């Protein structure tokens, strides 16, 4: 049941639940639009202040812990091997701000730069006078690094599923790829 606290049409939301938040009581603070700022207890134990309009609309459902938990769960669901996200290699999409039309190739001052990221490190592959050469080098590097890494990962997964061990094969691939980088 919603009670009117005073003649300013303020609703008593104390004890109601909005996502993970439960209002404890109103503060003297107001938003620019006049919405009351409520002191709220989150399920995780934190206390935070949220406007009544954000509570009612569902814009705020926690102290921030929900988003952190979501991020942790997403990270745990991804397949990461030695700092490399398998999903990122499998489904590499062109960024919306890419102007060359090719992943890992950018244009600056009329020259094309090719680069690739692997195991959390970005590697410059060179600067080229034309797009075709930059794309060619980038595709070669993609096949050498990402392609071989994925092949070994899938092979290792098959070995693992059959009861073998994946560690030696994966370690050997990482060593050979890293040695080629140097």
pLDDT recorded at residue 151: 83
Q: pLDDT band for position 2 (50/70/90)?
A: very low
Residue with tokens 């899938």: 154
β-partners of residue 114 are: 105, 126
The 3-state DSSP class for residue 182 equals coil
pLDDT for residue 9: 45
27 within 8 A of 49, measured Cβ to Cβ: yes
d(CA 33, CA 109): 48
Residue 12 has pLDDT above 90, yes or no: no
86, 153 Cβ separation under 8 angstroms: yes
Structure tokens at 164: 């073998």
pLDDT tens digits, one per residue of 145-160:
888 888 888 777 766 6
pLDDT above 70 for 175: no
- Domain limits, the chain: 3-66, 81-181
Q: Which two tokens stand for residue 99?
A: 């102007």
- 163 pLDDT more than 80: no
Structure tokens at 46: 């934190």
């Amino acid at each position: 049941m919603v009670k009117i606290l005073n003649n300013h049409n303020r609703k008593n939301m104390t004890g109601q639940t909005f996502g993970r938040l439960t209002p404890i009581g109103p503060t003297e603070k107001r938003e620019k639009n006049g919405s009351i700022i409520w002191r709220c207890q989150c399920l995780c134990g934190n206390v935070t202040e949220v406007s009544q309009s954000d509570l009612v609309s569902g814009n705020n459902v926690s102290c921030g812990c929900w988003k952190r938990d979501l991020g942790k769960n997403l990270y745990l669901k991804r397949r990461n091997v030695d700092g490399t996200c398998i999903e990122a290699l499998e489904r590499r999409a062109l960024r919306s701000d890419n102007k060359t039309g090719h992943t890992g190739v950018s244009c600056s001052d009329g020259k094309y730069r090719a680069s690739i990221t692997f195991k959390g490190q970005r590697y410059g592959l060179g600067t080229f006078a034309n797009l075709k050469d930059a794309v060619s080098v980038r595709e070669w590097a993609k096949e050498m690094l990402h392609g071989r890494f994925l092949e070994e990962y899938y092979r290792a997964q098959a070995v693992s599923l059959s009861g073998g061990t994946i560690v030696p094969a994966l370690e050997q691939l990482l060593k050979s790829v890293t040695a080629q980088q140097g």
